[in-house]
């Protein structure tokens, strides 16, 4: 009897997890998060989050690898950035993430939506005193302007974020007024 009850409960959790995932597949325009299936058995997913406004990541689209363990939702999903990103709490080499809810602060009531929104919040508010990437954290603390420029460059190069420098835009407009092709100019000149 106990084994049957456990199997029924586990089946319900799996079903609830699949419903939760189906809700994310549509994506949400408000928070700009989405999840796609990689593996038909719901264990491998590909997530995407938008860079938050007023950050160096704004306008970028960040791809995530999400692996759902058999023990989910009692254990957190394994998540890493596929898109290269310059951030103190994310490895610039492997995409590994230092975020408490993906480790010891996970609770079974948390959802993948919670994870993706927490990652967006992490992009907006780094924790340099608990870094995943010590080099990036050091730059963040010692030279904040250089950090922002580097993060913006990586966002542009790797995540497709638009260039957002008024000075750069002014220079591009000036070259266009001289008769140069805007597409050629932007391909050969970066604002960084």
3-state secondary structure of 110: coil
Query: What's the rounded Cα separation, in Å, for the pair 97 and 77?
Result: 12
Query: What's the rounded Cα separation, in Å, for the pair 120 and 5?
Result: 38
Q: Which residues are catalytic?
A: 98
Instruction: Supply φ then ψ for residue 47, to 5 degrees.
Output: -100, 165
- Cis amide prior to 58 (ω within 30 degrees): no
- Residue closest to 79 by CA, chosen among 109, 118, 52: 118
Give 187: exposed, middle or buried? Use CB within 10 Å, 0-12, 13-18, 19+: exposed
Q: What is the largest CA-CA distance in the chain?
A: 82
């Amino acid at each position: 009897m106990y084994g049957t009850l456990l199997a029924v409960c586990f089946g319900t959790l799996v079903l609830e997890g699949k419903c939760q995932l189906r809700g994310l597949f549509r994506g949400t325009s408000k928070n700009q998060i989405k999840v796609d299936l990689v593996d038909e058995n719901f264990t491998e997913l590909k997530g995407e989050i938008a860079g938050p406004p007023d950050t160096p990541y704004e306008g970028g689209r960040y791809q995530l690898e999400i692996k759902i363990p058999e023990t989910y939702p009692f254990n957190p999903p394994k998540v890493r950035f596929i898109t290269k990103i310059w951030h103190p709490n994310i490895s610039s080499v492997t995409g590994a993430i230092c975020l408490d809810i993906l480790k010891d602060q996970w609770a079974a009531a948390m959802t993948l939506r919670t994870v993706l929104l927490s990652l967006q919040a992490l992009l907006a508010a780094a924790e340099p005193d608990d870094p995943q990437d010590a080099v990036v954290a050091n730059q963040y603390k010692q030279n904040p302007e250089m950090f922002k420029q580097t993060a913006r460059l990586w966002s542009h190069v790797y995540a497709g974020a638009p260039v957002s420098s008024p000075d750069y835009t002014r220079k591009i407009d000036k070259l266009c007024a001289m008769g140069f092709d805007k597409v050629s100019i932007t391909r050969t000149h970066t604002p960084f």
